[in-house]
Amino acid sequence: MAGTICFIMWVFFITDTVWSRSVRQVYEIHDSDDWTIHDFECPMECFCPPSFPTALYCENRGLKEIPAIPSRIWYLYLQNNLIETIPEKPFENATQLRWINLNKNKITNYGIEKGALIQLKKLLFLFLEDNELEEVPSPLPRSLEQLQLARNKVSRIPQGTFSNLENLTLLDLQNNKLVDNAFQRDTFKGLKNLMQLNMAKNALRNMPPRLPANTMQLFLDNNSIEGIPENYFNVIPKVAFLRLNHNKLSDEGLPSRGFDVSSILDLQLSHNQLTKVPRISAHLQHLHLDHNKIKSVNVSVICPSPSMLPAERDSFSYGPHLRYLRLDGNEIKPPIPMALMTCFRLLQAVII
């Protein structure tokens, strides 16, 4: 029970590390004496709540252009409009912007003026989901911490796009049109602090190359990935959450060590073409292998032996840390092998 609580607390810590700034606005306190009457100008197309003077709400208004943004604004909401362009001029005075939400518009790469975004030196969060982008926009401000580009038409990442984004912790490229040749070996160079990378629902057949060393959450569901190169995880020694559901992974496509990687705590391999349970680390806590082609569970292969356990044996006094195992949708017939329960004594749920 204590181990489960520790794991849950660890998950919350990781999630909070990536997302903590997104709730910061709730606690921002601004002294009304800091503003003059001239600071409270408000574009007629938008709403400026007196109780939240640093926010500008322009969403769901059928706007085709971005209005001039007052200098006091930190949080800008422009989602659900008909905006096609991001010119420089509306942001001339918006030097304090931290958050821009432009989801669900009609923005194209050609519509983004080159200096429009990079001039926003304090910008932390940029939301451009559900637009018409065909490549990752560039240049972007060095201050940026989260870039959300889900559900566009992105198929290209121009060279050097991420080279100055050392503060970026989250990059969401899910549900785009990325293929393997969209990446160069140095595509992700510069993303020194990236922790979460989401490239689910693209058209990848191979694992993306040379990921940032600090990557902790890697989501690659719903691609067509067939294999994982040998020693692939050596480059991302901190990866803890790995999702490869709905791909084309086979036994032959896995590294010789399988997923015997001490950093991985949550491994999801549902809906692939595996016929055997791969090797895993004694540290792994959650394993999803449902809807593969597995016929039996060879415990002697998957159970980490004493020689495989790390030096800090006290933490493994009850054996490997696996607590959740999902095997339904395979060709395995009950009962559960007793050897499985003997090896993984901390198991709390097994679904077959």
> What pLDDT score was predicted for residue 7?
47
> What pLDDT score was predicted for residue 346?
92
Is residue 94 in some structural domain?
yes
Count of all residues that appear for the chain in the document: 352
> What pLDDT score was predicted for residue 62?
97
pLDDT tens for each residue of 150-171: 999 999 999 999 999 999 999 9
Please state, in angstroms and rounded to a whole number, the distance separating the CA atoms of residues 257 and 84.
49
Please state, in angstroms and rounded to a whole number, the distance separating the CA atoms of residues 118 and 125.
13
Q: What is the mean pLDDT of each run of 10 residues along the chain (352 residues)?
A: 48 51 43 50 94 96 97 97 98 97 98 96 98 97 98 96 97 98 94 98 97 98 97 97 98 94 97 96 96 92 64 65 96 85 92 90
Pick from 174, 70, 166, 87: nearest CA to 130: 174
Please state, in angstroms and rounded to a whole number, the distance separating the CA atoms of residues 72 and 64.
23
Expressed as residue numbers, the domain containing 59 is: 41-129
Is residue 93 in some structural domain?
yes
Whole-model pTM: value is: 0.88
Is residue 115 in some structural domain?
yes
Please state, in angstroms and rounded to a whole number, the distance separating the CA atoms of residues 148 and 130.
10
> What pLDDT score was predicted for residue 10?
52
> What pLDDT score was predicted for residue 300?
84
Domain count, the chain: 1
- For residue 57, what is the domain's CATH number? 3.80.10.10
- Cβ contact 208:244 at 8 Å: no
Strands (E), 1-160: 55-57, 75-77, 99-101, 125-127, 146-148
> What pLDDT score was predicted for residue 314?
54
- Cβ contact 49:30 at 8 Å: no
Is residue 229 in some structural domain?
no
Please state, in angstroms and rounded to a whole number, the distance separating the CA atoms of residues 286 and 274.
17
